[in-house]
Chains A and B, each alone.
Chain A
Amino acid sequence: MKISLMESGGWSAGISTPGQTLEFSELDEESAQEGRRLAEQLMSHSTSPTDENPHARDDVEFTIRVEERGASREFTMKSMALTREFADLLSWLKQQLKEKRHD
């Protein structure tokens, strides 16, 4: 499994930011297991964001792509309208990417 994260809009709107990808094969077993659990939770529970706020300004949009065995699924949500499942995976992913950067 691998998970990619793309961000657009908000204070970084218009800036070409490269997507970030996390290969599960590079993770320790415990982290990979947790990531897989959160990805499955997102895929099975939530496909649509919560109601968007018409007064939202400078909001950023996250796209998470989950790939495994040649198949992939994409989920896109704005930071102020995240579902709990999306936010859980996003936070975990950000944490993993942060640790990867610091290694």
Chain B
Amino acid sequence: MNKHETNCRRPIACIVPPYIFEKMLDSSDPTVRRSAIRSMQYSAQLRGARIANAEMGAAASTVGDGRRTLFHAKNSFFLSDAVLARSEGQPPVTNDDSVNRLYDGLGTTRDFLSEVFQRNSLDDRGGRLDGYVHVGVDFNNATFDGSVMRFGDGDGTMFTDFTSSLDVIAHELGHGVTQHTGQDLQYQGQSGALNESFSDVFGSLVKQWVNGQTVNQADWKIGEEVWTPGAEGDALRSLKEPGKAYVNHPLFGTDPQPGHMNKFVNTSSDNGGVHINSGIPNKAFYEAAMLNGDRSWEVTGQVWYQALKESSFTCVFQEFADLTVKAAKDRFDAAVAKNVSLGWKAVGITASAGLSVAAARGAFRGNGDSCDATMQSILGQLSHIKRRLDTLEKSPVRKAQR
């Protein structure tokens, strides 16, 4: 066996950038060129197979019913240390309120998705809902990792048990909805702030829905039950008044969220301020919901959900604003579209229903053409490689001929 073939005998295990293979095609050694071509062909076939398998796997997988499974993490950060605490259909446990609260919160959110958005769990295919409680020691956080949720107990000063707040539970599930809707929203900069904002909006919608609240009755707060257990009435975030969820707290100062584009925070921390600048679209949602009135999930929530479906991976505030106005016009009427537009105007964004680039991309994806386009791209690459191969076989030692 040739030494070059030995180095890349199993292309699947080789993490070699394509330009290296391109360079290898210039080699005067025909063995090197053959090896490069084989790897390029294999790589392109693999990419095609991966996409095809993913599509077929999704199509063939059994549709579930959003089964809940809860685990006790035993104050470890590692899920492998956890033990089963409660499964779907089992009665409440007698010795752990966190387990029961999370079980109920997941159920309420799943019901909201089904009844309000006609959606079967996070992925619309009845994907299971796995949650872990008592994660870490004094862990001041709740997270979603793409498949499971983790909830800390809090340190008792800054936060208390994160399962105590339905909008926090729904917020985490909201990330799952975003992940499985449209192209997901990149967790960085403005698209990341939109990702965070949709989770806040979703958390607030679920809470308002289960409590049967009108927009005037809602508190529009996020995390009131878990934030600073020693202080009454404050919250971690406010959709109604970003920047005023808590003010002059002796330990934690004042809510840093802006509620207008003129206070947009440019920062490299927090993935470009995803938890900070989310205050701007949060406020736009609140303003639009107040103008549309009644129950936020019936009109404004539907508009935001439709816009999420059409948004691109790197969507910015302006694109998302345009998509909401378009969705309001498409699904409702000019009056709702005007209210949504005024909601964005209140935060310094002029939105219109014109078919923006993002909206055009959304319409394209809506027909399921994105996968076809990717497959076309891969077929194009294979065709390109074949042409290179044909050329090389006609001219075995290119450099020598130059």
Contact = CB atoms under 8 A, between A and B. Distances in A.
A94 B143 contact: no
B143 A79 contact: yes
Contacts of B75: 91
B276 A11 contact: no
A56 B146 CA distance: 6
Contacts of A12: 140-141, 158-159
Interface of B: 75-78, 136-147, 150, 155, 157-159, 162, 168, 171-172, 175, 179, 187, 195, 199, 223, 236, 251-253, 256-257, 269-271, 273-276
A11 B224 CA distance: 12
Contact of B138 (A15, A80, A98): A98
B140 A87 contact: no
Nearest to B271: A9
Contact of B143 (A16, A18, A59, A90): A59
Interface in A54-103: 54-60, 79-80, 82, 84, 87, 90-91, 94-95, 97-98, 101
Contacts of A97: 138
| Count class of interface residues, chain A | 20 to 34
A14 B276 contact: yes
B223 A58 contact: no
A8 interface: yes
B143 A87 contact: no
A58 B175 contact: yes
Given A13-B274, A94-B137, 4 more contacts: A17-B158, A59-B141, A90-B77, A91-B76
Nearest to B79: A80
A90 B291 CA distance: 48
Interface of A: 7-18, 53-60, 79-80, 82, 84, 87, 90-91, 94-95, 97-98, 101
Contacts of B199: 57
B77 A87 contact: yes
Contacts of B145: 53, 55-57, 59, 80
Contacts, number: 114
Contact of B136 (A13, A18, A58, A79): A79
B155 A98 contact: yes
Nearest to B154: A11
B223 A11 contact: yes
A53 B150 CA distance: 14
A79 B172 contact: no
B270 A91 contact: no
A94 B141 contact: no
A94 B143 CA distance: 19
A12 B245 CA distance: 13
A82 to B, nearest CB: 5
Nearest to A79: B77
Contact of A79 (B138, B139, B159): B139
Contacts of A10: 140-143, 275
A18 to B, nearest CB: 8
Contacts of B195: 57
11 contacts: A8-B270, A12-B140, A16-B252, A17-B252, A54-B146, A55-B179, A57-B195, A58-B142, A90-B137, A91-B76, A98-B138
A97 B158 CA distance: 14
B275 A13 contact: yes
A55 B195 CA distance: 12
